[in-house]
A and B are shown apart, each in its own frame.
Chain A
């Protein structure tokens, strides 16, 4: 019990929580935008890998850190455009298209990395984002700018979704596309826009791993974080505020299991601690399953003009 309290009262623990939560916040917001518009985007895992790689590569060749983030976002956007084309325009299975994009983006990223650095034993590094000492606020000051970006994104996405006409259009398109079409709103246009923007967020989530959390690109770096974001969106009932909460909660448990392993209070084999995040995600899904109010048009393909 004492070890628990020691961990919780140590500010470094909460710094870690925020740090672990950042890619989850960005990724979950990305999935949220896509699913609110009615499109399941299982490409997130691959998009995060691609964002991590291209963002890092851009910095490596001299683009500057924010340039890297922009490149990562653009990579995500392009992959999102492909997914939107396949699922919204061609109305192919959203599951299969997303998985295909995950496989494709991951393979392309690994291929690109190997081509760029054929014979390296240790991965080359870059100088990542620095902590924001100028901020003066404890715990936040020890984060990087990307974490601030993630935190600010939550109220911005909420505002756009609930207080702007385009946000209402996104929600309508995810509930009843025929209604949106009948009110003069282009379902294809709005869905594509939402998927592209959401995928840009996913790309940025990936770039956090190589430009902030670490300073190099490794294989298996994303390690299922994308899928956890998909679970978190259901847990968050597709609301940005709850998405932030879910990401923080999840990061809390992840940071906790890491600390427990390190503190010597670990009685179980380390693998069991590492399993905790995934088990929790499944549990979260089961808990909210009954009352989940899905966007009603989620995963239903919409073909205009078809009988």
Chain B
């Protein structure tokens, strides 16, 4: 029997009324890759954060290589041989790679930093695992893939024997993910044991030895990766049989609603480079690509929060207005990527957030004064129609859960206040929807709901621009699909004309080489 290097017993953790982990018991065997699978909100990140010491469990204990692990202390976790590669990298941009890697490895009472020795050690570790980096480069100058390598090297430098990776492929192209898997194999060959968190079923089966499935905070299944199927995993994740999502192509594609001609933005921060695109009513145009290649800029430009520096954009035949309130008045529905940081003002009430985009229109304000009663009625209607739970109109928005926040954001974007006047609601669907990662971080039920709403709006005649880094969502929902890489938008093709391989190549920019040639 192979030894257990790690043993979690009855780990429980609550955040207020939310039970994140419920009496989870799990073992990790020497030299294995254990995948921790579950949908968003199932408790995977919380569990490994407890393991690494970022959080303290309310109950339960952990044993590492036979010894008990002190709780809530990353220093103790590192000393015990556990390392973690976080989903959102914990790196200091203004410091060098070497500084980031060696920080904390020497005693704070030591009189001087031994840089030369550290540099050698880093080179050795990098060579052992096949990860190349420039020790003196500033992290701010590195690409996403390079940053992940630094994040991994931080742990390997400390000589960890158990490595946790939290959603490592979220920011990688399919090809880069393959390189990562090769590195993982190398690590196992060198004696490490690995916990690998993911919500991507194919990947999990490909790379892991065993799979543990979490659902709503509980461990619901463990299985040998060789003996299980994606369908079985999906069923465990959701709790009931899941049929693969159906494609529902558009029945009627209408006129052009929004046209971008050679649009470019200023060189700073994820620029756009001569992007051209035509969006038609009754069609979902899905933009695929790794986050950080200009999609956010494209969304910002169409939402009125970023200026363009070149080219032109037409909406309904006229130049695109700059101000968000004008866009909303014209019938543009905007769903931002970050509901917490951009979509809602957490400290304000739900009703204030519900009308925040339209406050300057005569519907909700008379001169300087807010029409509070009308606004609150509208908020109640949105809450009812879009099933927003967790509070009433007066509740501060930050009290809502992520899924309910997203429903509120969706509701206020899609539900025109004219519908309060009981007139024919068909004339009040938005004509143009900009949806930027609308299902990110939601559980399967909420994801399905949001996708339904987008399809329904499209069938009612809206033009939908969907930006998503979830390939499955892009290929299922999109009528046409285009890929964004390095600020360039590739040729849009019908969804059925793409394969995962061809999209992967486009996401990595490989097809541009062919174009330029």
Q: Which residues of A contact B (CB under 8 A)?
A: 163-169, 171-172, 175-176, 178-186, 190, 293, 295-296, 304-305, 307
Contacts and interface: CB of A to CB of B under 8 A. Distances in A.
Contact of B100 (A166, A179, A181, A307): A179
B55 A305 contact: yes
A164 B92 contact: no
Contacts, number: 85
B439 to A, nearest CB: 20
What class of interface size applies to chain B in its complex with A?
20 to 34
A176 B91 contact: yes
Contacts of B200: none
Interface in B71-105: 72, 74-75, 78-79, 84, 86, 90-95, 99-100, 102-105
Interface of B: 15, 52, 54-56, 72, 74-75, 78-79, 84, 86, 90-95, 99-100, 102-113, 154
A181 B73 CA distance: 9
Contact of A184 (B55, B74, B86, B93): B74
A181 B91 contact: no
7 contacts: A165-B108, A172-B95, A179-B91, A183-B104, A184-B74, A185-B75, A185-B104
Contacts of A163: 112-113
A167 B91 CA distance: 17
Contacts of B94: 175, 293, 295-296
Contacts of B93: 175-176, 296
Contacts of A293: 94
B110 A169 contact: no
Minimum-distance CB pairs A-B, first 3 = A183-B104, A184-B75, A175-B92
A169 B103 contact: yes
Most buried by A among B52, B84, B111: B111
A275 to B, nearest CB: 36
Interface SS majority for chain A: helix
A188 to B, nearest CB: 12
Given A169-B108, A175-B93, A180 B103 contact: yes
A163 B102 CA distance: 13
A182 B101 CA distance: 11
B110 A165 contact: yes
B112 A185 contact: no
Most buried by A among B54, B90, B92, B109: B92
Nearest to A168: B103
A164 B90 contact: no
Contacts of B105: 183
Contact of B15 (A166, A296, A307): A307
A296 B138 CA distance: 14
A164 B103 contact: no
A172 B74 CA distance: 16
Contact of A176 (B15, B90, B107, B112): B90
Most buried by A among B52, B84, B100: B100
Nearest to B76: A184
B90 A182 contact: yes
Contact of B92 (A176, A184, A307): A176
A168 B118 CA distance: 14
Contact of A164 (B75, B95, B110): B110
